[in-house]
Homo-oligomer: A and B are copies of this chain.
Amino acid sequence: MGEPTSNLDELPAFEKLTKLARNPFDLTEPGGLSPQRIADFICSGGGFDLLYATQRLDNAVIGGLQQLADQANAVEMFLAMKKGAVINRFEGHESENRQVLHTACRDVFSDTPYSPAASGQAQEQLANLQTFLADLESGLLINEQGEPFTDYVNIGIGGSDLGPRAVYLALQAFGLPDRRVHFISNVDPDDAAAVLEGLDLSRTLVGVVSKSGSTLETLTNEELARAAFVKAGLDPGRHFMAVTGQGSPMDNPDRYLRSFYMYDYIGGRYSTTSMVGAVMLGFGLGYEAFVEILRGANDMDRAAEERDIRNNPPLLLALLGIWNHNFLGHQTIAILPYSQALVRFPAHLQQCDMESNGKSVTRQGDRPAYLTGPIVWGEPGTNGQHAFYQLIHQGTTVVPAEFIGFRDSQYAEDILIQGTTSQEKLLANLLAQSLALAKGRQNDNPNRSFSGNRPSSLLLADRLTPYTMGGLLALYEAKIVFQGFIWNINSFDQEGVQLGKVLANRFLDHFIALREGHDIDRQDQLTDWTLLESAGIVKKST
């Protein structure tokens, strides 16, 4: 199956890189960041250029990282994944034992897809989507008053919210006229109330998204929303749609206007290009735009098959991350898009990356002796420059940065102020930040000195479009998957969220007992009860 049997620190290249990390490349040396270096350290693929001259590495390190990728069988594992290997599993321990086939959703442009069964299911669902969107266009699907639907509320949480929402916000410039999309995710009742308050429900569709059909937050919000429709004299059956797993409790076409399927071989955080994102994005942007997202993602999935890391952006990005994290010891990574439209992309990556690779157990069930997934955070520049960049430049903790930029703006509505356009100002800042972090600057006033040698990469494409958005999604998905392979962990389960659920249910039992006047065995769960009392959530017993 091409799976690694080795931990990162057992790969021969690990020792070599450990030695090289004692003297990482000095970006502050005169001539260190030479024009030649900048021109040489570019990796292109899938519509993106990755500029990495401002990382603390040289050709020897790049050679070591190539060996690391080869020794970990990173590309072979990726190909095995695309072909349907059961890689969501542990050796010798109970686990989900599933295929990982989010790539199959967009492997729909060839007659010979890697995983024909999964791509066939994707094609079926796309046809289903196309019919739904055509029915909206033709007026076959209308509301009780014969009017077209103008608004769509996506109810989902985690992977059924973050990725789809990030992509919708990124592509609003390409939105269909008279179509708006809204999102409810949090079980906080104020979230649903604030969204529903401003809507004409009679012209609103609601897409409820849950693979298991049993996500408590989502079902709760669905009921809140259904109650609002009933209160407005509307029939929820004419407004609510389901995106769920076949056979789930939500797979009940009687309750929904239309139903779309997702499959257990696609994890929530990798599901934006499945029906999870498709129905909402199709409504807001149209079918063709969604297919362009798939095309961009598929092209990046192909670029990720390249064995030479200098020509494989996601694999190189994965290895740069491992260099900074495991060899140079930096615990976090900042994602800094110079595009306001990508405002929620870092939040999507927080899930995709940290839920995938925030693990402490190898595929064999051992505890790794090295760091796995980093802490991912970030906000769009230039906003971040006026917020947390102070720490990135002069703080006591080094934060590797991944800048994302586009040569042209989306709206092309721009203005010359002081001789330059806003887009030029945005790009000037983007480039300036990576140089400033790398080179630093000495000053007699210690408070005005910059140490430099703070690593970053620049990820660039021509324009943020459905195509490049698809590419960007797939680029980071592949980066995360590659890192998981090299760390020898399972990037596809999320057992770490279970304990919180179990304990939350205990508290819910308390609330139910209080409401229904049951006796509560306080002695048995004294800690819980004291916490409820101490937090002032229930009255103290005297």
Contact = CB atoms under 8 A, between A and B. Distances in A.
Interface in A370-422: 370-377, 379-380, 382-383, 385-397, 399, 405, 407, 409-411, 413-415, 417-422
Given A395-B372, A413-B193, A432-B504, A536 B422 contact: no
Given A190-B173, A367-B446, A426-B188, A394 B432 contact: no
A162 interface: yes
Contacts of A533: 39
Interface string A13-52: 0000000000000000000011100110010000001010
A399 B354 CA distance: 12
A232 to B, nearest CB: 14
A221 B340 CA distance: 13
B33 A527 contact: yes
21 contacts: A39-B530, A49-B535, A94-B445, A157-B383, A158-B385, A158-B386, A186-B340, A189-B413, A189-B421, A189-B423, A217-B386, A220-B415, A224-B422, A350-B388, A354-B388, A357-B391, A361-B449, A375-B375, A394-B495, A433-B503, A441-B499
A528 B190 CA distance: 49
Given A217-B382, A224-B415, A375-B391, A428 B458 contact: no
Contacts of A511: 419-421, 424, 428
B189 A411 contact: yes
Interface string A163-196: 0000000001100000000000111111111100
Interface string A314-325: 000000000000
A389 B441 CA distance: 38
Nearest to A217: B382
A220, A386, A490, A507 pick with most chain B CB within 10 angstroms: A386
A257 interface: no
A90 B445 CA distance: 10
Nearest to A498: B448
A451 B360 contact: yes
B534 A42 contact: yes
A161 interface: yes
B387 A354 contact: yes
A60 interface: no
Contacts of A188: 338-341, 380, 382, 409, 422-423, 426
A351 B537 CA distance: 32
Nearest to A339: B188
Contact of A397 (B35, B338, B375, B387): B375
A187 to B, nearest CB: 5
A116 interface: no
A422 B356 CA distance: 28
Interface residues of A, number: 157
A332 B94 CA distance: 33
Given A51-B534, A51-B535, A358-B396, 14 more contacts: A94-B445, A194-B340, A331-B397, A354-B391, A358-B388, A361-B449, A375-B375, A386-B497, A389-B500, A391-B496, A418-B508, A419-B511, A419-B515, A431-B504
A358 B413 contact: no
Contacts of A388: 350-351, 354-355, 358, 376
A520 to B, nearest CB: 14
Contacts of A239: none
A5 interface: no
B191 A340 contact: yes
B428 A508 contact: yes
A479 to B, nearest CB: 16
Contacts of A366: 446
Given A354-B395, A415-B224, A450-B496, A534 B375 contact: no
Contacts of A436: 499-500, 502-503
A374 to B, nearest CB: 8
A419 to B, nearest CB: 4
A32 B445 CA distance: 49
A338 to B, nearest CB: 7
A493 interface: yes
A131 interface: no
Nearest to A422: B189
A56 interface: no
A63 to B, nearest CB: 22
A59 interface: no
A368, A417, A493 pick with most chain B CB within 10 angstroms: A417
Contacts of A268: 386
B507 A189 contact: no
A275 interface: no
Contacts of A447: 90, 93, 95, 359, 361, 365, 490, 493, 495
A223 interface: yes
Given A410-B190, A415-B189, A427 B93 contact: no
